[in-house]
Amino acid sequence: MSVRNGDRDEGKLQVIEEAERMYKYTYEKCVGKTFPKSERFMLPSHIEEEAYRAESKLIRANRIRVTCKLEAEMRILLEEEAIGHLDELCHLIDAANLTGRISDREADHWTDLVSTTQDLALKWLKQQRGYYKDFLNS
């Protein structure tokens, strides 16, 4: 069933909305009182950087309007790199939990935010590969 023109709205891609939510939470944890000031340039810095890179690459991938093979490859590559950053982010959150910087409950919530973003990114990547298979196979 289609939606009438007057009832349509321009919405953000769900994976980008989730990535923004995940990054905001990550940023607040990293600059807040979760980690001691003496450690701000160690683990929290790496955590925030991975979250930022994941979100940034998803946004950059979405901005590419594919008209040729190179653009299709670039878009897919950015999406794959974002998923890799999300993997690394989960590892860093586990490290923060293992070192006692965050509780199990905090780690579970934080990891859920990252996992939701990652699941949406994987679905998006699969969809994009289908859309651009003609470009990618040429």
Averaged over 114-138, what is the pLDDT? 93
pLDDT of residue 55: 97
Q: Using one digit for the tens of pLDDT, what is the confidence trace for 73-119? A: 999 999 999 999 999 999 999 999 999 999 999 999 999 999 999 99
pLDDT of 60 > 70? The answer is yes
Contacts of 110 (CB under 8 A, 6+ apart): 25, 26, 29, 93, 102
- Dihedral angle computed from the Cα positions of residues 114, 52, 26 and 85, in that order, rounded to the nearest 10 degrees: 40
Q: How far is CA 56 from each of CA 108, 115, 135, rounded to the nearest angstrom?
A: 24, 17, 24
